[in-house]
Structure 1
């Protein structure tokens, strides 16, 4: 006698739960695997702002704006102790409101508080890049490392563009790899105005609609 046994597959993915989040207009210092900044959110029953350690797929956060969003929240399986228990995916952006009177919370004020390390140039990922820059708001100056040498100069900024001016640097000799990175970086920096934006924890510089330089936030 032949017995046929049917085995029903068990889904390893939990059903997504639709939740509403209020996202605050400024980030807050927090500690995950290392010191970082986190979004601040309120859930349906929140009485005060809570730190949000993970990311939300599809959501582009800009400091200075308060958001009301709908997200799909899915519980993960076999989550490590130091990781978020959920995956979040943007379902709908219900409201994006520019907050007035928060002079320390604009996108540019956020840029000024951090060191920015190069992570992508002309579409190429820069692994362990030595290139970084720091802005001085009071003097309208910028300084950093161009890979081999240090550089410094001025900058002019409008609401959504930035131009670097009169850049100068040291003249140390380097290996061919660093020289190549430095030459490409300085050529871009001296090439005229960039359009810029801040998304999550990256500073992005564009020429037209093309992203040419992407920097990641790093501790000062």
Structure 2
């Protein structure tokens, strides 16, 4: 009788070990565009010991992901019986968040909402900035017109050139004029927490921005 009971237990353990297991996953601080059945945004994950991030097309049950944070989580992975043709054969469920840490911002991560231009802090419509260091481009909106320029960043030094904008008639032209004038004189920056400050040669504040969520 005992031997029969042990045999049953062994079969159950064997079945469970084949159908599910626990894994520790590292999750990057931003989703990226990926293409599965449709175009979508995927988590970037890797297991402990791996060096390269991979796209993760599944959902993780019980896991509320917040962009801008790195995660280390423990999950259980279960095989799905008769999965749909366009679905995964694996089901992931959160066991525990082991670590969660805020990722340091990069200058060209997401967009930046302008909250101050020199001494001005009130705007009918706030300008915003987007920086792409891979293309050495800075662009955005002056509060009325779109603008673009070339940007080169070395350490915390900034060189902005070839600044241009569209020419729509603006109701509050003073904001646009002040913003473009300030932008043309930026020579360095500081970045702390979610705040970007653009400075001139004398380290005087020209433009201050708050971070906007990644697009």
TM-score, with length taken from structure 1? 0.50
Q: CA deviation at 1:174?
A: 1.4
Q: Tell me if structure 2 keeps the 8 A contact 1:28–1:51.
A: no
Query: How far apart, in 2, do the equivalents of 1:168 and 1:49 lie?
Result: 45
Matches within 5 A, 1:75-154: 110-127=106-123, 129-154=125-150
Counterparts in 2 of 1:49 and 1:195: CA distance versus 1, 3 Å = same
Q: CA deviation at 1:137?
A: 2.3
Larger radius of gyration: 2
Higher helix content, 1 or 2:
2
Unaligned 5+ residue runs, structure 1?
1-26, 30-34, 41-46, 53-62, 64-104
Matched, 1:163 2:159: yes
Output the aligned Cα RMSD: 3.1
TM-score (norm 2): 0.51
Partner deviation per Cα, 1:51-106 (whole Å, 9 max, x = no partner): 57xxxxxxxxxx6xxxxxxxxxxxxxxxxxxxxxxxxxxxxxxxxxxxxxxxxx6x
Q: Aligned to 2:144, what secondary structure does the other structure show?
A: coil
1:49 to 99, 105, 112: 99
2:170 corresponding residue in structure 1: 174
Q: Which runs of 5+ in 2 are unaligned?
A: 1-27, 31-65, 72-96
Contact 2:133 2:152 survives alignment (8 Å): no
**Partners of 2:152 and 2:133 in 1: how far apart?**
11
Answering whether residue 187 of structure 2 is matched by residue 194 of structure 1, we say yes
Cross-structure match for 2:205 = 211
Task: Give distance in 2, aligned partners of 1:183 and 1:127.
Answer: 13
Number of the residue aligned with 2:85: none
In structure 1, how many angstroms separate the alpha carbons of the residues matched to 2:166 and 2:121? 25
Distance, in Å, in 2 between the alignment partners of 1:36 and 1:126 is 29
Q: Give the aligned length.
A: 129
